[in-house]
A and B are shown apart, each in its own frame.
Chain A
Amino acid sequence: MRNTTKKLRDHDNTWYLFLLPTILGLLLFTAYPILESFRLSFFKSNGTIEEFIGLQNYTYIFNNDLFWKTVWNTFYITFFQLLIGIPIAYIIACIINELKICKNFIKSLFFIPYITPVVASATVFLFVLHPSGLLNSFIGLFGVEPINWLLYPTTAQWGTIIFSNWQALGFYIIIILANLQSIPTELDKAAQVDGATKIQIWWHITTPLMKGTFRFLIIMGWISGLQRFSDVYVLGGAQGSPARSLFTIVGFIYERGFGSFEFGVASAAAYVLFAIIAIFTIVNMTLTNLKKEQ
């Protein structure tokens, strides 16, 4: 009996050894920076010289108009990205789901932008959004005058919304398709027997069964949207031009940290962002009843 226990313990220890590199990596590169950043948020720090200032960084951020502008920009872009992107992805996914041929090929086509690095695809979008670019040529087909997408604050934000939807559409489609394919066909057949049309089946049976997926996409979309940085950095530069319209919360953190060497302010802003994401996720889960259903 003693031998068996010893054997089991040895066995466990071995696997702890295997886990050790990962755990060390997590402690060093994830846990330590998180804690260090929290500590820094109470200091005035340029990276090497520090002075404890209590909650002053947090007070500064809460009273800073520019910070609240970044909050507005971030929420605005993310809200419309999800509002437009998820329904379009749902419609496309339903069409793909009905296809008899080339289903995988079309899925791959939509998924390519998602696996392309954001910086690379955003750089290409600089040309798409150019006054004589692809997007203006496209809307020109419908008689719409060319738009200087990146010149004005509102159009620059909408240019970003278009880009982020183009980029994320593949992910939305794959997730939605996974759910569509798990819906029992018996439900459709029963409805057909009852005389329901295809549209009625789609609206009254398929769509309600997708609620869980929509909730998942909304919550994940908000979390990643609130951390938006790479795409707006490429499209609007480090300052989120024009007129700070593409300046997001993470952009604020980046500028204060690496543009001005105000690491205390940047760390405090990072924790405010963390709080915003946490609160917003709880609100999202409550509103969509996900927590309750889980």
Chain B
Amino acid sequence: MKKFTKLIGLFSVMLLAAGCSNGGEVSAEANNASTVLRVQWIGDFQQQDSTDPITGTRRIGLHVIEEEFERLYPEVDVQFITMGWDDYVKKTQTMIISNEADVYQVPGISGLVDQNMLLSLEPYIERDNYDLSVYLDGQVEGWMVAGPDDDELKIYSLPLLGDTRFITYDKLIFDQWGVEYLSENPTIDEIKDKASQMTGINPVTGEYNYGLTYAGVDAADSIMNINESLGGIWGTGVRLSELETEFNSATMIEAANIFLDLAQYAPETALVDQGSELYGTANNNIAINFRDASKTIFSSIELGLGDRYGVSKLFINEDFSMGGMFAGSPLAISTTSENPDLAWEYIKFTSSDFVQQFLWENYNNQTLPVTTAGLTFEGIADNAEVYKMVESMEQLWTPRYIYRASQPRYILTDAVENIILGTMSIEDALNKAQKETEDWVAQQ
């Protein structure tokens, strides 16, 4: 009996040790006939085929990409690790430290490069003379960052998932009010004028319409975009410790004033992302969405609303020919990867038409193509609204706003919330944001 209990105790310790050991090594040993390449996917991606719970659309799983890569590289066993967007930065960082994958999706790239967690891709690009012109304009530049030992911006990642923001509008509401649709590149005055015309009781339905809404969580980005249209910029600097923001510039103050003017045509609770829930559905009561994402458009198409929702581009700074927050997801190789060469082959593979078209056809609710070939895909080339959407990715501000990678992002958002709520004057709020940012940078 004593021996038995000792054995049980020993077995428990062994179980604990096994639980704490690196599972990857075990699977590699079990499958020693091939090299294992582990790839992280962030988003609502499924390994197996699935059905969208809202629209009922059938989506083919990522196994197709896995099979194609393994067909091209028969000696490789690709293993996908899928996860959601919640806490993705924290999870990615933890995964890199514990060497859980070789290839990572790194929209929060700045913090990871700051910690020397990612390999520079420039030696690989040079070695293979890899043609970066396969990507849409600005997509590579948007993800360039400077590591702690770099003197200038470098390529640590290449784009996988395209994302952008734009202005959308409900053509049906425009028709009901007899207002001309928004132009492709509307001015602020055009938006304000049309939003004011469509705020009130709808002459056809008799229901109350709002002329406009905005994404409360991104209100600071909207003000920054207006600022760009006035010739302003967010600031300068390639590293967080060298940031010089212009949060209280004259153009930012003017931009905040303009935003407040526009916000009077939006639901009062838009700041906290309430009141605009019907936008994108058949029962919508809002004419213009000042800052929207592709999900609204594609969901409405899947809901059978056809081309009811139109697309216009964000504002640009004429001097720089760009404007709007750069977004999306690039791929990078971790410094802990055991197969960096193979990881690089995989990254190149993701720019192929096969991968980009697969993602477009099955996951267009969360990604747009990042390659120039994407503009020729069915559903993009033949759809003016979607084409504008993809094309708008080429005008986003690059390199992306580095201040958004850390504390200044929260500082500016706080200031903007106070401005919209009227708890602080525009000047006071933006001066405070600028001072807090300067103090924060000095502390870095």
Contact of A49 with B9 in the complex, beta carbons under 8 Å: no
Contact A14 B423, CB 8 Å, known A131-B269, A261-B114: no
Cβ contacts A1-35/B at 8 Å (1 or 0 each): 00000000010001001101100110010000000
Contact of B115 with A47 in the complex, beta carbons under 8 Å: yes
Verify if A274 is at the interface (C-beta below 8 Å from B).
no
Contact of B407 with A260 in the complex, beta carbons under 8 Å: yes
Stretch at the interface among B85-93, B167-175, B299-307: B85-93
| Chain A hits for B268, CB < 8 A | 148, 151
Cβ contacts A92-130/B at 8 Å (1 or 0 each): 000000000000000000000000000000000000001
Verify if A185 is at the interface (C-beta below 8 Å from B).
no
State the Cβ distance, B171 to closest chain A Cβ, in Å: 26
Looking at chain B's contact residues, the main secondary structure is: helix
Bound: A289/B97 CA distance, A:
48
Verify if B2 is at the interface (C-beta below 8 Å from A).
yes
Bound: A149/B117 CA distance, A:
43
Interface size on B, residues (CB 8 A): 40
Contact of B421 with A243 in the complex, beta carbons under 8 Å: yes
Bound: A130/B275 CA distance, A:
8
Verify if B272 is at the interface (C-beta below 8 Å from A).
yes
| Chain A hits for B8, CB < 8 A | 18
Verify if A153 is at the interface (C-beta below 8 Å from B).
yes
Contact of B421 with A14 in the complex, beta carbons under 8 Å: no
Bound: A40/B417 CA distance, A:
33
Stretch at the interface among A164-172, A187-195, A234-242: A234-242
| Chain B hits for A18, CB < 8 A | 5, 8-9, 12
Verify if B274 is at the interface (C-beta below 8 Å from A).
yes
Bound: A182/B216 CA distance, A:
52
| Chain A hits for B117, CB < 8 A | 48
Beta-carbon nearest neighbor of B413 in chain A? A239
Contact of A153 with B12 in the complex, beta carbons under 8 Å: no
State the Cβ distance, A266 to closest chain B Cβ, in Å: 11
Beta-carbon nearest neighbor of A57 in chain B? B443
Contact of A237 with B418 in the complex, beta carbons under 8 Å: no
Contact of A49 with B116 in the complex, beta carbons under 8 Å: yes
Among B16, B410, B421, the most chain A Cβ lie within 10 Å of the Cβ of B410
State the Cβ distance, A45 to closest chain B Cβ, in Å: 10
Verify if B125 is at the interface (C-beta below 8 Å from A).
no
Contact of A14 with B2 in the complex, beta carbons under 8 Å: yes
Contact A60 B115, CB 8 Å, known A17-B6, A20-B13: no
Bound: A265/B423 CA distance, A:
28
Bound: A242/B268 CA distance, A:
13
Contact of A48 with B12 in the complex, beta carbons under 8 Å: no
| Chain A hits for B74, CB < 8 A | none
Bound: A10/B394 CA distance, A:
74
Beta-carbon nearest neighbor of A10 in chain B? B2
Chain A contacts to B: CB under 8 angstroms = 10, 14, 17-18, 20-21, 24-25, 28, 46-49, 60, 130-131, 148, 150-153, 237, 239, 241-244, 255-256, 258-262
Closest 10 CB pairs of A and B: A17-B9, A48-B115, A258-B90, A260-B406, A260-B407, A261-B111, A21-B16, A150-B272, A243-B417, A21-B12
Cross-chain pairs A/B with CB under 8 angstroms, 21 sampled: A14-B2, A17-B9, A17-B13, A18-B8, A20-B12, A24-B16, A25-B16, A48-B115, A150-B274, A153-B423, A239-B410, A239-B413, A241-B216, A241-B272, A255-B407, A255-B410, A258-B87, A258-B90, A259-B410, A260-B406, A261-B114
